[in-house]
């Protein structure tokens, strides 16, 4: 299996993951740049939380519609020039979304089963949502809330909740603290 590190092959892994997500969501009427960016963001930050590293190794920035990979546009342009991806302007409601359409199958040997399972969970969770809805969901993350346009969002922010815990969250925390001897 050719699982590269985050430093080596970062653009290749990113390219293959964009192709994978675009293939999996090819029948999704709401797939556009915003949704693609959010699947990548949530997948990478979830992987950081679970695995201690992101899947793509890409840096994410704060944009008005939510987090997006800083290198998305230049890499996407190279993918189009290389003939592996097409961007189709598609009218939806009163807007035009830029729909990524893969022109070849993704090379999956760059990813572990664990990484793809994380991506698949996010694909399914976000599938029924519009671009606006996934954008709104990303606005509830600590990383996006604590940065401004153009700033880098640190993947370590995945460990910090933005919303206050409700009563059930507090009760569960107390239960676990008692279970593990952290509270008398």
- 76-134: pLDDT as tens digits: 999 999 999 999 998 888 888 899 999 999 999 999 999 999 999 999 999 999 999 99
User: What's the whole-model pTM score?
Assistant: 0.85
- Categorize the per-residue pLDDT at 30 as very low, low, confident or very high, splitting at 50, 70 and 90: very high
**133-143: buried (b, 16+ CB within 10 Å) or exposed (e) per residue?**
ebbeebeebbb
Q: Residue 100, SS3? A: strand
pLDDT in tens, 142-180: 999 999 999 999 999 999 877 778 899 889 888 988 888
pLDDT at 4 over 50: no
For residue 110 the two structure tokens come to 């760059």
* Token pair recorded at residue 75: 């890499």
Radius of gyration in angstroms for the set of CA atoms belonging to the chain, rounded to a whole number: 18
With 70 as the cut, is the pLDDT of residue 141 above it?
A: yes
**Per-residue pLDDT, 170:** 87
**CA distances in angstroms from 20 to 3, 171, 180, listed in the order given:** 16, 40, 40
Q: How far is it, in rounded angstroms, from Cα 112 to Cα 109?
A: 8
The confidence score (pLDDT) of residue 184 equals 67
For range 24-48, the mean pLDDT:
97
Cβ-contact 98, 35 below 8 angstroms: no
């Amino acid at each position: 299996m050719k699982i590269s590190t985050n430093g080596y092959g970062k653009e290749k892994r990113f390219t293959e993951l964009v192709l994978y997500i675009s293939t999996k969501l090819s029948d999704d009427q709401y797939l556009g740049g915003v949704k693609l960016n959010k699947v990548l963001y949530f997948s990478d930050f979830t992987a950081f939380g679970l695995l201690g590293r992101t899947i793509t190794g890409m840096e994410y920035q704060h944009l008005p519609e939510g987090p997006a990979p800083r290198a998305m546009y230049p890499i996407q342009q190279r993918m189009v020039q290389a003939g592996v991806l097409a961007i189709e302007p598609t009218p939806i409601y009163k807007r035009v979304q830029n729909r990524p359409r893969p022109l070849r199958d993704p090379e999956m040997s760059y990813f572990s089963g664990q990484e793809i399972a994380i991506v698949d969970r996010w694909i399914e969770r976000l599938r029924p949502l519009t671009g606006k809805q996934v954008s709104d969901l990303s606005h509830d993350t600590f990383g996006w809330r604590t940065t401004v346009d153009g700033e880098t969002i640190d993947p370590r922010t995945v460990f910090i909740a933005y919303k206050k815990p409700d009563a059930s969250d507090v009760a569960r925390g107390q239960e676990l603290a008692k279970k593990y001897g952290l509270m008398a």
